[in-house]
Structure 1
Amino acid sequence: MARPGRHTIVVDLGYGDAGKGTVVDALSADGGLSAVIRFNGGAQAAHNVVTADGRHHTFAQFGAGTLCGARTHLSRFVVVDPLALAAEADHLAALGVPDPLRLITVDGDAPLATPWHRAANRARERRRGGDRHGSCGMGVGETVAYALDHADAPRAADVRSPALLRRRLAAVRDRLTDELGDLGAPPVEEVAAAFEAFGAAVAVVDGPRVLRELLRAGPCVFEGAQGILLDEWAGWHPYTTWSTTTFANADTLLAEAGEEAYRLGVVRTYTTRHGPGPLVTEDPALTAALPDPHNGTGPWQGAFRVGHFDAVAHRYAVEVAGGVDGLAVTHLDVPPRVPDLAICTSYRHTGGIAPGRHRDTALIVPGPGGDLDRIVPGPHRDLDHQAALTAALLTARPGRLDRPADWSAAIGELLGAPVLLESRGPRAGDKRAGNRALAARYP
C-alpha cells in the first residue's frame, strides 16, 4: 500500500471507530515506516487490527503499525497510562511481537494517568446518573483536567526521580480523595513501584529531539485517537472528549520539526457513535443489522449506535479541521448487503433554522433545496455555541437520504476530497487504492 506522502496524518472525521487502526496498519504493511506518532488521547483509544493470519489486537497506546514492526512515539499530547501500557505490551508479546516495549519512546513531558484519575473519572460519571456525558472510564479527561489545574501533575519524566514521583502521586491521591471521597485505589508505594518499572523498560526521552530524528529517518504516520465530532472544542458539547482530535496537535509537532504531512480523513460507509449525544442519522434497524464485533455496549461508554452516512456532520468535520488532502473509506463491504443503508445529505429541524448565539449567524443553514445542509462552525473555544448546536442536533432528523451506485465516489464528491484508500475488510489485504477518476479531479 503506497503512502500518499513522506508523512501522513490519519484522523477520524466522525465519532471514532471509523477504522483508523486498520488504515494505519495498511500504511505500515510494507515495513518502510520510521514510526507511528501518537498525538492525542491516551489509553481509551481502541484501534482494531486483524492480521492476514487472523491475529487480532486492539491498539490503545501502541501505534497500530506495531504488528508490522513499526516503532511508536508517544508525544507530549498523549496521556500515558503506564499500567495499561504494560498490559497492552503483554498482549502484543503473546501475539508474537518480541519485547514490545523496546519499540516505544515516550516524551518526558507527557502527563501520566494514575489509578486515582481513573477512579475519579468513574465516580463523576456515576454521579451524573441519567445525564452521563459518555466516557471510556480510563481517566484520560480527568488526567488532562488535573494537569491544567496543578503545575505539579505527574509527568512521564518523573518516573526517573523516585522521591519527586512519590510526592506527586501522593498529591493526586490526596486532592482527588478530598474532593470525591474514598476512591479505592492502591497505595502510593505500589503505584510508584509500577511506574518506576515502566521507566526502566521504556525509553522516556526528549520528545522534540527524538521526533525530529524519527521524521528525518523515514516516513512516519501520525495516528489520531477518537474523532473530530468528539473534539473538546469543535464537538457536540458536553458529549465530547478532553482531547484535540483534529489535525492541530500533529500540525504543531510537524511545524516544530520543520516538516509537513498529507492529511488523511477516515470515514465508514455508515456513521456510528458510542453512548449519549447527537447522532442525527441514527436508525435502530441499522444498529440491529450492523453489530460490530469489536464495539459493543460498555459500562462507561454506553451503547454502540448506528446511523446512515451523515454527510452533513462529516462535511462539518472537514471544515473545522481546516480541510483534508484525501480520504480513506472503510466498510465498503457493508452497503451491498444492507439495502436500506443510505447517505444523508441534509437535515430537517423542527424549529426551522436553529438560531446561533451571535448576530447574523445560524447553527445549521439551508442549501438550495431548502433543507439544512451545513453545520456552521462557531468561534474557536466557544463552548456555549457548541452546547446550543448540540441542542439543535438532538432534535434534528435526516432530510434527504440517497443510495448511491458508487459509495466511494459519492462520499468523495460530498466531502470534496479524493478517496485514497478503500477498505472492504479488517485486514491490510482488504484495502486497495481509491477511486482513480475522483483522485484525478482533486490533484
Structure 2
Amino acid sequence: MNLDAVRQHVIVVDLGYGDAGKGTVVDWLCATRPVRTVVRFNGGAQAAHNVVLRDGRHHTFAQFGASTFHPGVRTHLSRHVVVDPLALAVEADHLAAVGVPDALDRLTVDGEALLATPYHRAANRARELARGADRHGSCGLGVGEAVAYGLAHPDQAPRVADCRSPEVLRRRLTALRDRLSAELGPLDAPPVADCLPAYRAFAERVEIVERSWLARELRAGTCVFEGAQGVLLDEWHGFHPYTTWSTTTFANAEGLLAEAGLAGSATRLGVLRTVTTRHGPGPLVTEDPTLPLADPHNPTNPWQGRFRFGHFDAVAHAYALAVAGGVDGLALTHLDLVGQGLDLRICHRYTDLDRLVPGPPGDLDRQARLTERLLQTRPVYDEPPPVDWPTAVEQALATPVVLTSHGPTTADKEGHLVNAWCRGRAPF
C-alpha cells in the first residue's frame, strides 16, 4: 500500500489543557481537501471549538464537528462521546442562524453513546457546589456525571439508542433520577415525562447508527478525527483531581480505526498555542497574571472560573507528547501574539524538575501527588524570548511544526502541512 493510502485520515489532539485551536485546525483541514466526515471521539457538550469564517461568521462547536460550515462534510458522534440531545438542538439552531440549516441532516450518532441528561447536569452542579473552595473547575454540563453513572450502572445507563424506545428510556431516566436524588437530595431538573418528547424528537430527526457504520465510512474516504479538551486533562494521565472523565489522547481514535481494519492509517497532529492556557483551577506552572491577554471566546464563567494565561510550558507539553505516544507533527496557533511586543518566553524546566515522567494509567494517587508538586514548583526561563517561534518549539519538543496559524481563519494558516494536504498527498 502506498503512503497516500496509508495516511488517509488525520487525528487532531490538543497537547495542553484545551482551547489551543483544534476547531480552527479542523476547519482548515476540511476547507482545503475533500473530507467525508469529522469524527468526534471523546468528550461531550462541554467542548468549545471556535471557528471564524472570512466573512465574520462565528460558531462555537460543541457536539457538531468544526467542519460543519463546509457543505457536505458530515459529523459522526462515536460511542466514546457523551451526547446531549437538548444542547444539540440549541447548537443546531445557532448554526441555522449563521447560514447552516442542514447540520442535523449531516449528523450520525452511535446508538451506544451515553446520554447526558438534565439529571446528570443537576447532580454535576450539586457536587461541584458542595466542594466549595476545592472545586475542580467542572463545566457543569453533566458529562463526567454521565460517564460515572455509566460505569456504575452499565446496563441501565441511558444511551442514544434508548431514545427510539420511549418506555425503555422512561424506566432508565426514572431510575437515574431516583438514584441521584437519593444520594444528593432533590435535583433541579424537570420531571421525566417532560423530558421524553425532546428525546423522541431527537430520535426522529437524527440518524442513529450501529458501530459498523463508522467502519464503512472510514473505508470510503478521508475522515478527520476531532478531539475534545486536552491531553493534560486526561482522565488517567492528567493532574488529578483537575481532570476530565474522558480519554483525551489518541487512544479512542486509534481504537476506532483498528476496529475498521485501518490501524496506522492516520496522521497524528498535536495542537499547541504560543502561550499555555487553562480554563479553571489546577496546575498552570507558567501562569503570568501580568500578561495583558484576553480571549473573547473563553470568558470567565460561573463553573470553570477565569481563563488563565501563562508562558509556553515545554515541560508540560513534552509530558503530553509522552503520554499521547508522540505525534507526526505539531500545529502551532496564536502566532499573531508574537508580533505584539509581549515578552513571551518558553519554560524548559521547573525549579525542582527538568521533566515529567508519565506513570501507569489509572494510578490517580500518583497523579494527585504530581499535582501537589506542580502547585508548588516554579518555572525557570533561562533563555531570551524566541525570535523564530516554530523553530524554538520544534527544538524544545523535538517534533516538527507542520502547520502555523496567525489568526482564526483558513487564510491565516501556513506551513509544510498546508502544501502537502492541499496537494492531496500524505503530509509526512
TM range, smaller chain: over 0.9
Distance, in Å, in 2 between the alignment partners of 1:82 and 1:435 is 35
Structure-2 separation of matches of 1:233 and 1:215 = 28
Structure 2 residue matching 1:421: 3-state secondary structure: strand
Map Cα deviations across residues 37-79 of structure 1 (whole Å, 9 max, x no partner): 0000000000000011100000000000000121000000000
Deviation, 1:434, is 4.3
The residue that corresponds to 2:393 in the other structure is 411
Structure 1 runs (4+) deviating above 6 angstroms are none
Corresponding residue of 1:428: 410
Q: CA deviation at 1:30?
A: 3.0
1:271 aligned onto 2:276: yes
How big is each residue's C-alpha offset from its partner over 1:108-157, in whole Å with a ceiling of 9 and x where there is no partner? 00000000100100000000000001111100000000000012000100
Question: Matched residue of 1:226: which SS?
Answer: coil
Q: What residue ranges of structure 1 are gaps of 5+ in the alignment? A: 350-371, 437-441
Distance 2:382 2:66 in 1: 34
CA contact (8 A) 2:6 2:266 kept: no
1:255-294 equivalence runs, <5 A: 255-259=258-262, 260-286=265-291, 289-294=292-297
The answer to whether the 8 A contact 2:299-2:306 is kept is yes
In the alignment, which residue of structure 2 is the partner of 1:342? 345
Match of 2:371 in 1: 390
In 2: Cα distance, 1:419 partner to 1:231 partner: 23
Q: Secondary structure at the match of 1:233?
A: coil
**What CA deviation, in whole Å up to 9, does each residue of 1:344-402 have, x standing for no partner?**
111003xxxxxxxxxxxxxxxxxxxxxx3210111221111100100100011011343
Q: 1:194-247: per-residue Cα shift (whole Å, max 9, x none)? A: 00100000001012x211122122110000000000000100000000000000
Distance 1:304 1:19, change over 3 A: same
Amino acid in structure 1 at the alignment position of 2:79: R
Structure 1 residues 24-173: aligned runs within 5 Å: 24-30=26-32, 32-69=34-71, 70-150=73-153, 151-173=155-177
CA distance in structure 2 between the aligned counterparts of 1:185 and 1:76, rounded to whole angstroms: 25
**1:331 aligned onto 2:334:** yes
- Residue 13 of structure 2 aligns with an amino acid whose one-letter code is V
In 2, are the aligned partners of 1:409 and 1:435 still within 8 Å (CA)?
no
- For this pair of structures, how many residues does the alignment match? 412
Do the aligned residues in 1 keep the contact of 2:137 with 2:305 (CA within 8 Å)?
yes
1:339 Cα offset (Å): 2.8
C-alpha distance 93-226 of structure 1, shift in aligned 2 (>3 A)? same
- Aligned twin of 2:313: 310
Partner of 1:358: none
Measured on the aligned residues, the alpha-carbon RMSD in Å equals: 1.6
Quick one: which amino acid aligns to residue 425 of structure 1?
A: G
Distance between the aligned counterparts of 1:181 and 1:82, measured in 2?
25
1:344–1:399 contact (8 Å) kept in structure 2: yes
- Taking the aligned partners of 2:194 and 2:184, their CA distance within structure 1 comes to 21
State the alpha-carbon separation in 1 of the partners of residues 166 and 355 from structure 2.
Answer: 53
Deviations 1:268-293 (A, max 9, x none): 0000001111000000011xx11001
Q: 1:378 aligns with which of 359, 362, 378?
A: 359
Q: What is the identity, as a one-letter code, of the residue corresponding to 2:210?
A: D
Hey, what does 2:181 align to over in structure 1? 177
Change (3 A) 1:338 1:142: farther
Residue of structure 1 aligned with 2:243, choices 240, 260, 284: 240
